[in-house]
Amino acid sequence: MTAPSTFATKREALDHLAGVRADRMRGTYRDHRAGLTPFGEYAREWIANGGTRGQFAPKTKANNEALLAGLLLPFHDQALSAISPSDVRTWYTRARKNLHDAGRKRAAAAHKRALEVAARRGDAPPPAPAAQTGESRLRQGYTLLRSILATAVRDGLIGSNPCQIAGAGSVAHPERPLLNAEMLDTIVSTMPEQWTLPIRVMFGAHLRLGELVALQRGDYADGVLKVERQTTLVDGKPITTKTKTGNARTVALPPTIAAKVEAHLGASRAFPRSPMFLRADGEPITNHALGQAWRRAARKVGLGQFHVHDVRHAGLTMAAQAGATTRELMARAGHRTARASLIYQHAAEERGITIAAALDVLNNPVLAGKEPVAITGNP
């Protein structure tokens, strides 16, 4: 057998052999040559084989390949066993600075172009946009690096995972502002008519944007919508796959929305597999076109803080407020676990507290815990 290095004395060599024998007896022996595989080679194979679950969605695979070719490039030629926690920390610090600097340059360039356009039109100078910090991209890169090296540990190629930066792979998702029914109606009423029904269906069936775009005419029957696919953009091209969780679901639409869908489908004839919604030019709706129409309308009415994804969230929150259980919310939303659905029940509980506080101010002696005053005489 070979050792990872030479020894100064025979005693040191014998001690090494004794340690190897002991590790083999315990079942913990790891050949030092196993970790000599370059990270880049191992990572490419890891992505090609679908990572830890054996399969990536097309968009996720493309994103991982881009991260490997860009942000994780400094590790490509390093042997897996040579990557140390210090190497990871150094890379993380430098990557954060580079991403932050690049974000500031892009923001400055975009502001310069906006100023030039405003000057030509005679408009007021626009405010400088906030620079992109790159934190989201850095988190994605670190998470990918950690996952790949975690697999290398399980494969017995390295002894421990060098990704040990506390909190680097996690992100705090700030709670989105609640889009209520009045706000939603205001935005939708401002959008061109071709988008009105798609947005209402998105709300009533709690659809993700890609699920809405992928709907076909045959997916609707008797007030119920079948959701079994999504369309996402991969390298700028639309790709239709199974839903985000890989599972199909059926969702009962609110009666008024169901009636509008039936009228919409009855107004024209097409194959069941034809797109359910078309643009004014007769082409299928797209993620980009719908998102752009939403942003324009929302900004026009002073509600630019809301994203088109908030339509789904609004529908789920209102369903929770109407009394839907966690299991019912999971079924309607297509959630794989209860954790995501509990977010909407939490919002409903907060609304319940607000309602209770409003009731508490009523001038009613019974609610206030006082004895009611006896009323005598004729009313």
Distances (CA, A) of 297 to 29, 49, 126, 308: 63, 43, 19, 11
> Tokens 């007769």 sit at which residue?
282
Q: Average pLDDT, stretch 331-352?
A: 64
Res 187 pLDDT > 90: yes
Res 61 pLDDT > 80: yes
Instruction: Kindly state the percentage of the chain with pLDDT values over 70.
Output: 80
The whole-angstrom separation of Cα 228 and Cα 225 is: 10
The whole-angstrom separation of Cα 221 and Cα 258 is: 9
The whole-angstrom separation of Cα 358 and Cα 149 is: 54
Res 79 pLDDT > 80: yes
Closest-CA residue to 184 (of 160, 163, 201): 201
The domains of the chain, with CATH numbers, are 1-25 (no CATH), 31-154 (no CATH), 181-358 (1.10.443.10)
Which H or E run includes 194? none
Higher pLDDT residue, 24 or 301? 301
Res 318 pLDDT > 60: yes
The whole-angstrom separation of Cα 24 and Cα 21 is: 5
The whole-angstrom separation of Cα 166 and Cα 179 is: 34
Q: Average pLDDT, stretch 170-187?
A: 80
CB-neighbour burial class of residue 366 (10 A; exposed 0-12, middle 13-18, buried 19+): exposed
What is the three-class DSSP state of 268? coil
- What does pLDDT average to over the chain? 83
234 pLDDT band (50/70/90 cuts)? confident
Output the pLDDT for position 379. 44
The whole-angstrom separation of Cα 178 and Cα 346 is: 12
Res 118 pLDDT > 60: yes
Q: What is the 3-state secondary structure (H, E, C) of 303-316?
A: CCCCCCCHHHHHHH
Structure tokens at 342: 């509990």
377 pLDDT band (50/70/90 cuts)? very low
The whole-angstrom separation of Cα 87 and Cα 163 is: 9
Res 378 pLDDT > 70: no
Model confidence pLDDT, tens digit, residues 9-40: 878 767 766 765 776 676 555 555 667 899 99
The whole-angstrom separation of Cα 183 and Cα 303 is: 8
Q: Average pLDDT, stretch 58-74?
A: 93
Q: Average pLDDT, stretch 33-60?
A: 88
Structure tokens at 214: 């992928």
Res 162 pLDDT > 80: yes
CB-based contacts of 290: which residues, under 8 Å, 6+ apart?
Answer: 195, 198, 209, 212, 213, 308
Instruction: Assess contact for 68 and 43: CB atoms under 8 A.
Output: yes
Higher pLDDT residue, 6 or 248? 248
Lowest-confidence range among 50-54, 284-288, 323-327? 323-327
139 pLDDT band (50/70/90 cuts)? very high
Percentages helix, strand, coil for the chain, rounded to the nearest 5?
55, 5, 40
Instruction: Assess contact for 256 and 263: CB atoms under 8 A.
Output: no
Output the pLDDT for position 120. 86
Which H or E run includes 30? none
Model confidence pLDDT, tens digit, residues 255-297: 999 999 999 999 998 999 999 999 888 889 999 999 999 999 9
Question: What's the distance, CA 379 to chain centroid?
Answer: 63
Instruction: Assess contact for 265 and 249: CB atoms under 8 A.
Output: no
